């Protein structure tokens, strides 16, 4: 399992997320950057998206991660409030070893 927006965004970029997990309370959802040309990419700045940075847009992290999940056929489930997860975000990872 991967926890926190940066770790989950990295896992999506590697195509390694079969299930996204988010807390329902997203009050402190950080703003991140995404790109229309590659929905699996989410970064902390347009520059973090590499060659896709010129066409970047800003949105709440949860919206970008849900978008990545939907467009990569990943499942989605709500994390219970008692579940520990950085930024209220986690992902089940595919085994790649």
Check whether 81 has a pLDDT greater than 90. Answer: no
Give SS3 for 19: strand
Domains and CATH numbers, the chain: 2-92 (3.30.1330)
Long-range contacts for 36-42 (Cβ within 8 Å, ≥24 apart)? 39/67, 39/68, 39/71, 39/72, 40/12, 40/13, 40/15, 40/68, 40/71, 40/72, 41/9, 41/12, 41/13, 42/5, 42/9, 42/12, 42/13, 42/68
**Sign of the alpha-carbon torsion through 96, 61, 32, 3:** negative
Q: Which of 3-7, 37-41, 60-64 has the highest mean pLDDT?
A: 60-64
Check whether 80 has a pLDDT greater than 70. Answer: yes
pTM for this prediction: 0.88
10 or 82, greater pLDDT = 10
Q: Which of 18-22, 23-27, 92-96 has the highest mean pLDDT?
A: 18-22
Q: Are 32 and 59 in contact (CB under 8 A)?
A: yes
pLDDT at 63: 94
| Residues 28-53, mean pLDDT to the nearest whole number | 91
pLDDT at 96: 62
């Amino acid at each position: 399992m991967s926890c926190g927006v940066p770790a989950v965004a990295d896992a999506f970029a590697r195509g390694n997320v079969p299930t996204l997990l988010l807390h329902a309370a997203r009050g402190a959802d950080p703003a991140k950057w995404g790109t229309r040309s590659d929905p699996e990419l989410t970064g902390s700045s347009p520059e973090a998206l590499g060659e896709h940075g010129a066409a970047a847009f800003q949105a709440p992290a949860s919206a970008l991660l849900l978008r990545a999940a939907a467009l990569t056929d990943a499942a989605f489930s709500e994390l219970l409030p008692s579940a520990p997860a950085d930024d209220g975000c986690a992902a089940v990872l595919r085994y790649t070893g």
